[in-house]
Structure 1
Amino acid sequence: MSDSSRNVESENERTIEVFCRVRPTKKLSRLYSLEDNETITFNVPHEQSAGVVNNQKEIFQFPFAQVFDQHVKQEDIFDHVAKKVVNNVIDGYNGTIFAYGQTGSGKTFTITGGPEHYSDRGVIPRSINAIFSHIDANRSQAMFAVHISYLEIYNNNGYDLLDPDHDNKKLEDLQKVVLMDDENGNTRLSHISVQPASSAEDALNWLFIGDTNRVICETPMNDASSRSHCIFMIALETRCLRTDMIRRSRLNLVDLAGSERTAKTQVDGRILTEARAINLSLHYLEQCIVALHEKAQGKRVHVPYRNSMITSILKDSLGGNCKTVMIANINADDSHVIESISTCRFAQRVAMISNSATINEELDPSLIIQRLKHRVEELEARLSVYEQGESGTAAEDASRTLDPHKISQLELQIDGFLDRDDDGLVSALIDLPKGQLSHSFLYLKRCIKSNVKQRLAGRIIF
């Protein structure tokens, strides 16, 4: 189904790829440097107040799959980070792309993009365009269905960003999205809408509606800070016209709310409550990351996914059936070096997690039913031929469907059967398909009516 030029991974199990993106800053930082686009190094001087009198620098190095400097374009982020995951989703795998970092580090710009220029489109709109470009190029080979959902997690409560009641109700009055476990132990979302999208324009419109309903506010760190975790979900269903298989895959595009040190920002009131909820949920996320690493080493079994809503939803994305990549967004300003190092440390833990992804495909029940119906009709037709005997229009119609080569081959078999004492062909004739069985009866009828002795050169005596 996918283009042969795409290099889709064949490995079922692999670690999560982590990337780093440095947000542009007006003042060039003296504390970090990039090495061969795969390693970021921080040189942090000790403060004399900490009791270090020689002002010795401490070096922190963090390897990544790739580090993007301040001049990287949005197109490059999609091509090097997201495109492979989107292609995996097209091929039937689940995929997740999530951005992590302190508030104001550029996560929302990376995932959603900016409104000023078309080139500022983020991962979500570019992923939408890539999926529908594939669909438009393959409509003659398969049937596709795309559905969109958009979830916001604010103060650990889930809300449907596509709920039309956003226009006339306060946030606290909206129906909350809740988590439910099915009979197989899988986590499901209840009270969230699933909107159909027949084109890229439809999907982008749902993105726009959801973004207008997000909770944002001004903070000391960010003029338009996202105060919630947001997950844009694309469900893709592919029915191949040449097989009975159906593939169902999902792409999660996650913009995590930014962590912040409340003592540093000195916020209060509602913003402080939001910051505490964000930090707590990110703490639970880090707990799961650590637990997954320890589980891989055989040190523990339980992973506390249920501690928060965001970790419950990301259960498959972290250590499950999913192709996952992470973007660590950091602010290059010297005043944020501690937060940047903390983000990089978190990314290194994520990079140690292994996911085991499989293609989500199954036999299409509707096609199976259709095939069984055709089989029943064929068997009923064969039964009708038996009941009618050697004559009748049904047998003649069935005989006409055979190609000349098959007819010649079948008549030679019957000639051999008539010529020899071996009756082994009788059992073979009984199991013949309808068309061949009908022609066998008609051919025997013609043999009987014709001069059999002359036809077979004296080999057959009736």
Structure 2
Amino acid sequence: MQRAGKWKTPRRPGPKKGTNIEKDPVGVYCRIRPLGAEDEECCIEMISSSTIQLHAPNGLKANRNGEYKEMQYTFKKVFGINTTQLELFEDVARPLVEDLINCKNGLLFTYGVTGSGKTFTMTGSPGEGGLLPRALDMLFNSISPFQAKRFVFKPDVKNGMDIQSQVDALLERQKRDSQQSVPKTPSSRQKADPEFADMINPDEACKSENVVEDCCYSVFVSYIEIYNNYIYDLLEDAPFDSVRPKWFGGGTPVRNNEFIPPQSKILREDQNHNMYVGGCTEVEVKSTEEAFEVFWKGQKKRRIANTQLNRESSRSHSVFTIKLAQAPLDADGDHILQDKSQVNVSQLCLVDLAGSERTSRTKAEGSRLREAGTINQSLMTLRTCMEVLRENQICGTNKMVPYRDSKVTHLFKNYFDGEGKVRMIVCVNPKADDYEETILVMRFAEMTQEVEVARPVDRPICGLGAGRRQKNQAFKDELSRRLEERGGPCNPDDPVMLDQLIESFPPLPPCELVDPNDDHTLPRLIEVLERRHRIRQMMTQQFEKNASTLKSMLQQFDSQLNAKETILHDQQTKLTEKEKLLINQKMEIERLEKKSKTLECKIDILQKTTEMYEQDKRSLQEELETQEQRLQRELSERRRMEQRMQGVVMNTKHKWEKECERRVNAKQLELQNKLWVKDEKLKQLKAIVTESSSGSGAAIERPERPSRERDRNIAQKRSASPSPLPTALPAHPMHRRSHSAGGEKWVDHKPSSNLDLDTVMQPIIPNAIKVSTPNEKALSKCHKYVLRHQELASDGEIETQLIKGNVYKTRGGGQAVQFTDIETLKQQYTKASSHKRRSVSPDGPDQNEDMENRVPVASTSSSYGYQKRRKP
């Protein structure tokens, strides 16, 4: 047997320096299984289509604050308890099957606590097929018309694929059929197992529309399990016990005539650094039923056990691999192209991980305890690898990922380091007993979503034209029809009849000569060879006859083809002219369309500009109206203020006039009384003098009081020219010194924005360092700090606040200020006290009398005394 070609699984190219490789995060989905009983406590709530929330069950130990926080986790999509298997397949597994047909690898695995529904999600039940049977059904529904014959693709023992010709494949099939020791592959018409007979409803069957019809396909499946960190082939023909004996994993193996233990497989690395299971059985299947039977054959050998948490708990990780080999047809569309560089092999791995569990809950002992420990250890290694991958990708580190610590991670190393799609379904049980384990699962799922895997690259099949298979089939149909019309034989030329004729060759009998006196083996062999020779001669004669007939038909076809080519050339000339005309018309239409678009753009721009101008106009008009209203209000307010000030001025003037008149009148009366008293005294003195001069006996005349009329006249004359009021002496500015200013050194912080009012009371602080901005150097030299803050009081006057504080040194070597007092200085006008002192003196009015005078003073709100200004 000669090999027409050999194909090796290509090495996934690693990231090159300076190249940007597109990556996609690992798609993580969540599926919630229904509760076992209605009265069970639920700890999971589905908030949205992508978010779930975990509630702490009753009786669980609370945290330090006496409460247990509710936690939310987000996934790519969350499937509730009412989700069907078909809906789950359409969202998760269907894209992976599409990629498998398009020469892209994929990995899908289920993860969760024991009893969360992982096996049901992957396998399903009768009537509710899971992801695995639906993926197989979709694959065969898509490629069944384009499958290659059995043994055309043949896997080798080094993760490669051999390609055989049609004759070699035929001989291989006859050889397999003649061997009685090897059971025949079940027919595609047989049902696999009663449990899988009605796995998928025919109404739910799906099919891919992206199948390349010019290729031939072949499907190979393999089924392994990883038990106690050992790999076993579930499709191996050796006897397989569901319960592992004591020798397993160490010690001396028990060998007898009844039980032959299966040998564990080892992981190998091919020449392209891809991981594979050495010596693993790969079965070529041609239908969904046949693939079901192969799967069920291995499923019966998988290790399950009864535990406290699950009646049929998986005690191992199972990996079902679907490998699709495809090669393009040649230019004639009749045979497979014998070019190994044009062959592609893609695979989809469906992994059902064993459930993580706590031995305290399962009460496992002996071998069950060891199984649980190995399962938890492998799942922990998977978590560790995901954490290191995420750290390397996020932080840019180059830590070594511990793939080799577990067979599960070592087997799928190529998916995370190479390219492909990775999908994970997190199965959760909402019952309260699994709350703590569910939290760990959620944390791992949340972390896995941040890991990125290189996006698969599209690989073209070949550079040949499309539709080769259809053209070849149409040619064969037309040839058969022409032969029937001519009355020639058509059956031998029919490809189906030709294959049946080739398969009708009698199989070769056994050729081993054990006995030298054997007279039956050689005659039987000679007879079979003669029959095969007669059949070959008959085929040769028929072939020559068909060849001559075909040659004459081809000559006739050539003449007809030449005539049709001439007609076609004329038609093409006319068509070219019409195409040119159409191209010109199209160019004119495009030019007009561009012009129309340009005009539309201009119109849009003008409309937008007009709208902007109108909007600006409206805003300006509104602003103008607002300004006018404000001016009107200010004008009316000013008029009211003027009127009010005029009234105040008139009242004040009238009041001062009355007061002056009253004072003048009072002075006049006082002066008149003084003059009258003086006159009386003068008269008495005159009388005394006269009396003394005239004699003692003379009578003393009583002085007469001056008349009131004379006094009134004198008062009117003096009121006509009143004396001016005494004015207040100018005030001498005096600066006040803050009572709190002692011998300490001060930092006088006076911002540059403060105004210098030059009022009477201005604080003067001795030993002060004046600054305009906060200064760390100045604070380190002083013990006190004062800040001058100015603001406008409610009465419109400027108010100055002196904010005082002590300066302390901090532990860090800096300075801190602790404010202790606020002193407020405010400028206001007040009236002096109007106590009047009256005294009778001939020199005129009293000069010490206090006059009403408006004096600016400064008031303070602190505990320090007032300093008032008085007249000298």
TM class, shorter-length: 0.7 to 0.9
- Report the CA distance shift for 1:239/1:12 in structure 2 as closer, same or farther (over 3 A): farther
Match of 2:408 among 300, 306, 310: 310
Change (3 A) 1:49 1:29: closer
Specify the alignment match of 1:23 in structure 2: 33
The residue aligned with 1:141 is 214
Rounded to whole Å, the distance in 2 between the matches of 1:221 and 1:48 is: 20
2:325 alignment counterpart = 237
Q: Secondary structure at the match of 1:276?
A: helix
Q: Distance in 1 between matches of 2:105 and 2:441?
A: 25
The CA distance in 2 between the partners of 1:271 and 1:167, in whole Å, is: 19
Question: Aligned to 1:151, which of 210, 219, 224?
Answer: 224
The answer on 1:118 being equivalent to 2:127 is yes
Q: 1:287 aligns with which of 372, 377, 384?
A: 384
1:356 alignment partner in structure 2: 454
Show CA shifts across 1:137-165 (max 9, x none). 55653211000100100000000000111
Specify the structure having the higher radius of gyration (Cα).
2
Question: 1:33 pairs with 45, 55, 58, which one?
Answer: 45
The correspondence for 1:43, drawn from 51, 55, 77, is 55
- For CA contacts below 8 A with separation 6 or more, give which structure has more relative contact order: 1
Cα drift, residue 223 of structure 1:
0.4
Describe the shift of the 1:300–1:143 C-alpha distance in structure 2 as closer, same or farther (beyond 3 A).
Answer: same
Q: Is the 8 A contact 2:41 2:432 kept in 1?
A: yes
CA distance in 1, matches of 2:277, 2:423: 23
Which 5+ residue runs of structure 2 have no aligned equivalent? 1-20, 148-212, 249-260, 332-336, 463-554, 568-872
- The number of residue pairs the alignment matches comes to 365
Matched, 1:163 2:174: no
Tell me if the contact between 1:247 and 1:360 (Cα under 8 Å) persists in the aligned partners: no
Per the alignment, residue 636 of structure 2 pairs with none
Distance 2:330 2:41 in 1: 57
1:268 Cα offset (Å): 0.9
Equivalent-residue separation in structure 1 for 2:94 and 2:412 (angstroms): 20
From the superposition, tell whether residues 242 and 349 of structure 1 become closer, same or farther in structure 2 (CA, over 3 Å). Answer: farther
Given that 1:287 and 1:304 are in contact with CA atoms closer than 8 Å, whether structure 2 keeps it comes out as yes
SS in 1 for 2:108: strand
CA distance in 2, matches of 1:33, 1:307: 36
Equivalent in the alignment of 1:390: none
CA distance in 1, matches of 2:25, 2:145: 32
Query: Would the alpha carbon gap of residues 401 and 73 (structure 1) be closer, same or farther in structure 2, given more than 3 Å must change?
Result: same
**Which structure 2 residues correspond to residues 49-128 of structure 1 after superposition, within 5 A?**
52=64, 55-114=66-125, 117-119=126-128, 121-128=129-136
How far the C-alpha of 1:33 sits from its partner, in A, is: 1.1
1:274 aligns to 2:274 (yes or no): no
Query: In structure 1, what is the Cα distance between the partners aligned to 2:137 and 2:83?
Result: 21
Please state how far the C-alpha of 1:349 moved relative to its aligned partner.
Answer: 1.5
Asked whether the equivalents of residues 62 and 68 of structure 2 are also in contact (C-alpha less than 8 Å), the reply is no
**Counterpart residue identity of residue 131, structure 1:** L
Q: For residue 184 of structure 1, report the CA deviation from its aligned partner.
A: 2.7
CA contact (8 A) 1:176 1:191 kept: no
| Partners of 2:22 and 2:96 in 1: CA distance | 14
Of 167-176 and 265-274, deviating more is: 167-176
Tell me how far 1:318 sits from its aligned partner.
2.9
Measure how far apart 1:30 and its partner are. 3.9
Structure 1, 69-78 or 288-297: larger mean CA deviation: 69-78
SS of equivalent residue, structure 2 residue 45: strand
Decide whether the 8 Å contact of 1:101 with 1:328 is kept in 2.
Answer: yes
Counterpart mapping for 1:60-459 below 5 A: 60-114=71-125, 117-119=126-128, 121-136=129-144, 138=146, 141-167=214-240, 172=248, 173-241=261-329, 245-297=342-394, 298-359=396-457, 361=459
The two structures, once aligned, show a CA RMSD in angstroms of 3.0
- C-alpha contact 2:242 2:302 (8 A) present in aligned 1: no
* Letter matched to residue 205 of structure 1: E
1:44 alignment partner, SS class: coil
User: CA separation in 2, counterparts of 1:212 and 1:265?
Assistant: 24
How far the C-alpha of 1:284 sits from its partner, in A, is 0.6
- If the length of structure 1 is used for normalisation, what is the TM-score? 0.72
Q: Match for 1:19: what amino acid? A: Y
TM-superposed CA distance for 1:252, in Å, is 0.2
Evaluate the alpha carbon distance shift between residue 211 and residue 287 of structure 1 in structure 2; reply closer, same or farther with a 3 A threshold.
same
CA distance in 2, matches of 1:240, 1:28: 57
Paired with 1:326 and 1:295, the residues of 2 have a C-alpha distance of: 21
Change in CA separation of 1:328 and 1:125 when aligned onto 2, cut-off 3 Å: same
CA contact 2:241–2:301 (8 Å) conserved in 1? no
Counterparts of 2:72 and 2:85 in 1: how far apart (Å)? 25
Query: What's the % identity of the aligned pairs?
Result: 33
Contact 2:275 2:414 in 1 (8 A): no
Alpha-carbon separation, structure 1, partners of 2:400 and 2:559: 67
Contact 1:45 1:58 in 2 (8 A): no
Q: Residues 178 and 361 from structure 1, CA distance in 2 versus in 1: closer, same or farther, beyond 3 angstroms?
A: farther
Determine which structure has the larger strand proportion and give its number.
Answer: 1
Residue pair 1:74, 1:110 contacting (<8 A) in 2 also: yes
1:164 match: secondary structure: coil
Q: Measure how far apart 1:32 and its partner are.
A: 2.0
Question: Are 1:16 and 1:354, in contact at CA under 8 Å, matched by a contact in 2?
Answer: yes
Residues 274 and 414 in structure 2, CA contact (< 8 A), matched pair in contact too:
no
Which residues of structure 1 form unaligned runs of 5+?
1-10, 365-395, 409-462
Measure, in 1, the Cα distance between the counterparts of 2:416 and 2:357.
23
Specify the code of the residue in structure 2 equivalent to 1:320.
G
Q: For 1:245-301, what per-residue CA distance to the aligned partner results, in whole angstroms no more than 9, with x for missing partners? A: 333110100000111111232211110000000000111111110011011021333
In the TM superposition, residue 330 of structure 1 has moved relative to its aligned partner by 0.8
The residue aligned with 2:853 is none
